[in-house]
Chains A and B, each alone.
Chain A
């Protein structure tokens, strides 16, 4: 079985963003549960935060293919 070790590195680099995205949406769900009328405002903030955390995972996969 052959493959690239860089992909394992990508898997490791995805742990951090994964935890981060989980925390962001946990906070979003909490916020909506406490104050359902703030849903619209919280949603765009949550997605903005999700996007910033996700960027790290995306860098990971880009670099996994660059450094193969």
Chain B
């Protein structure tokens, strides 16, 4: 009988634990964190941002939750909210946020393509690890296509530090950048003004150049022919306007083609930099 009583008492104690176990609040800190992590890992960033907000509210000292909020906003391309959160958590502490948050800020600036701001932020920051910092600095200079500055900065850094794989990669890009032979937009425009289509050929758009030359020549010939046979009439004016419009458009097009050529050359070199630095 005594044993039965003991069994009943111990069962009751066990049941109290089950209540504790089962009745745990799904809104509490640990469950919210569990759910928020699930949302973040399954890339449902819109919902994970809200859930991490709850986690951060329940446990204001949880800095990882705060970091995840900013990351969630960044990954859903809501940069304004991400920046606002950063300022809210560390008011007036820019640029010296805690390291992870400072790196997050750099990534945000990279995402927003504000490379000049990234570089000045990094210059003033002293919380990021120096090796990482130099990588980001080189990256932001390369994204601005400042090849020579990148080379000088790398050489200065390597005088007192060791070369890492990333720095070597970035340094090589700067060397390749220095070897790019850019096309001058003004030369392209001038060439097209002298011989229609030649500016396009100069910017390595051979087919466009030949096509433009043929079209402009054809309309110019039609204008000339029309004036020769019928004098100045509606037809010749129409052909003349078309020929002149295409001629002017080709000059402008050659200017833009040179810009496009230069941009393409830069992009070929810098396309992997963002992935290298942001996905670290």
A is bound by B? no
Binding site for A on B (CB under 8 A): none
Binding site for B on A (CB under 8 A): none
